[in-house]
Amino acid sequence: MLNPRPTSPELHVNLDALIANYSWFCAQAPNSKTGVALKANAYGIGMDAVGPALLEAGCTVFFVAHISEGVRLRRLLGSAPLIYVLHGAATGEVEVMLAHRLYPVLNSRPQIALWRNDGAGAPAALHVDTGMNRTGLPFAELPETKFDELNLQMIMSHLACAATPEHPLNEIQRDRFLQVTRQFPGIAASFCNSAGVLLGDEYHFDLTRIGIGLFGASPLHASLPPPPLTPVARIQAPIIQLKTVSKSETVGYGGTFCAPGAMQIAILAYGYADGLPRSVGATSFGWVGKTPTSILGRVSMDLTVVDVSQVKKPLEIGDHIEFLGPDLDAFAQSCNGEAYEILTSISPRVKRVYKREAS
């Protein structure tokens, strides 16, 4: 009897590649500390594996969005690293923050007041909105806001248009952020996400916050050449059935694909409930080695059909078709999307499998 083979999709993660990408970003900003953003379950890749791997690689500053993510990360990393919670603290969360030594990013006067009153003098960061118009204390409110009795360890802002280096807002935001940092001398300043690091030294300040680049996707607009990052993630979608369709037969819901001739098809246990977007085009690719296959018809909730007529290697049930890798950005574009959303959409039904040669 054959060994059991997976019947559900798996996400294979190369942690060595992830660390290589982290090191690459460290080298781009050698005079700054390189922090990482592991919100949204480390961009869908899995905080439980990614957090400890980055800690081991020397990372000491971590960012999450929600307090629940911070609590989980603290348990994974032990007491040493700094963990900032980007959404800040709300009423009722202060005790949990203090108990787990999570530092809130204070985004507004109400958050500042809350931490001043209830934060017991524990460290916090201040986020000033220099033009993103999302979270953060509005730049215009800075002069009239009081920061007394706060133990500020870090000042940050967030770039809106770093993916497009020539966008004028980048420099406008940088000029404003320089004014902010002058108001807080001696306090660490953090400005750059992955794309921001690529804008050059004058954007780096003291601490960066690398997210998407860790996972091998380009942080730049799709029209720009990507930085030399290493692919980290690929989906292995198992074949659960192989069959032939005849000329003029249709495939899948709505009968949207009509076979131009006899075709060999593979039915994969991988669908949009696993995170393969329904918007993926027929031009998209699942790979068998270096041979591309096309998706036929609509992606179903739990199943997808691909054309394997061109695959020379004899396929068997239990073999897999590979998605996402080797070019996550190209895959995302074929879905009319971005790598960010492709990664965070990988559902919990997809088993994460981590590979680490170093350990």
The residues annotated with a catalytic role in the active site are: 39, 253
- The contact mask relative to a second copy for 178-217 (x = CB under 8 A, - = no) is ----------------------------------------
Per CB under 8 A, does 333 bind a second copy? no
**Span interacting with a second copy, options 225-233, 281-289, 298-306, 322-330, rule CB under 8 A:** 298-306
Structure tokens at 166: 């020539």
Choosing from 179, 230, 250, 333, the residue that interacts with a second copy (CB under 8 A) is: 250
- To a second copy, the closest distance from the beta carbon of 348 in angstroms equals 5
Choosing from 300, 329, 331, 339, the residue that interacts with a second copy (CB under 8 A) is: 300
Choosing from 231, 249, 315, 354, the residue that interacts with a second copy (CB under 8 A) is: 249
DSSP 140: G
Per CB under 8 A, does 318 bind a second copy? yes
Contact between 210 and 36 under an 8 Å Cβ cutoff? The reply is yes
- To a second copy, the closest distance from the beta carbon of 280 in angstroms equals 11
Alpha-carbon gap, residue 68 to 161, rounded angstroms? 29
Phi, psi (degrees; rounded to nearest 5) at 253: -60, 140
Residues 6+ apart with CB under 8 A from 35: 59, 60, 61, 62, 63, 82, 190, 207, 208, 209, 210
**Span interacting with a second copy, options 51-59, 73-81, 144-152, 157-165, rule CB under 8 A:** 157-165
- To a second copy, the closest distance from the beta carbon of 3 in angstroms equals 7
Q: What is the CA radius of gyration of the chain?
A: 23
Choosing from 58, 121, 138, 281, the residue that interacts with a second copy (CB under 8 A) is: 138
Q: Of 160 and 199, which has the nearer Cβ to a second copy?
A: 160
Per CB under 8 A, does 65 bind a second copy? yes
Q: Of 35 and 277, which has the nearer Cβ to a second copy?
A: 277
Per CB under 8 A, does 260 bind a second copy? no
Q: Of 4 and 228, which has the nearer Cβ to a second copy?
A: 4
Of residues 14 through 33, those in contact with a second copy by CB under 8 A are: none
Residue 307: strand pairing partners: 265, 294
How many residues bind a second copy (CB under 8 A)? The answer is 78
Per CB under 8 A, does 58 bind a second copy? no
Could you tell me where the DSSP H helices lie in 124-282?
168-183, 194-197
Pairing of strands 263-268, 233-245: antiparallel
Choosing from 51, 81, 104, 131, the residue that interacts with a second copy (CB under 8 A) is: 131
| Sign of the dihedral defined by the CA atoms of residues 266, 271, 274, 279, in that order | positive
Alpha-carbon gap, residue 272 to 284, rounded angstroms? 14
Residue 328: strand pairing partners: none
Q: Of 326 and 337, which has the nearer Cβ to a second copy?
A: 337
Alpha-carbon gap, residue 216 to 333, rounded angstroms? 15
**Span interacting with a second copy, options 24-32, 59-67, 181-189, 224-232, rule CB under 8 A:** 59-67
Which CA distances in Å does 65 have to 105, 106, 131, 280?
A: 9, 12, 20, 28
Per CB under 8 A, does 355 bind a second copy? no
Contact between 347 and 333 under an 8 Å Cβ cutoff? The reply is no
AA letter at 108: S
Of residues 219 through 248, those in contact with a second copy by CB under 8 A are: 240-241, 243-245
Which CA distances in Å does 111 have to 105, 145, 179?
A: 9, 12, 22
Choosing from 86, 105, 321, 328, the residue that interacts with a second copy (CB under 8 A) is: 86
